[in-house]
Amino acid sequence: MKESVTLANRLIEGQVLNAQYAEESYQLKRENCNLKKQIEEINNLNNNTTETKNNNSSDFLITSNNNELEVLHETVNRLSAVCFLKLFFIVT
């Protein structure tokens, strides 16, 4: 009887952990999607700015946008890695 209770508790704990991982994975995917949209918008802005740049102030805008784009790329890569690791641990 005691073994059955222990096994049932372990099963419940496993299901709770899987549900938590699934929720975190969903949130990471949503954030990843939003960051990709931001990257696309910044790329479009950079393309438009490059086409229309006429003075030094636009050079600063391009530089700051490129820096922001790099940060967003790094964030997307980290989120993708975390999502992969969480899914790996759910499967195993």
pLDDT at 12: 92
Mean pLDDT within 30-57: 75
Q: 57 is written with which tokens?
A: 């102030």
**How confident is the prediction for the chain on average, in pLDDT?**
76
Q: pLDDT digit string (tens) for 64-80?
A: 667 777 888 788 878 77
Is 0.75 topped by the overall pTM?
A: no
19 exposure class (CB count in 10 Å sphere: 0-12, 13-18, 19+): exposed
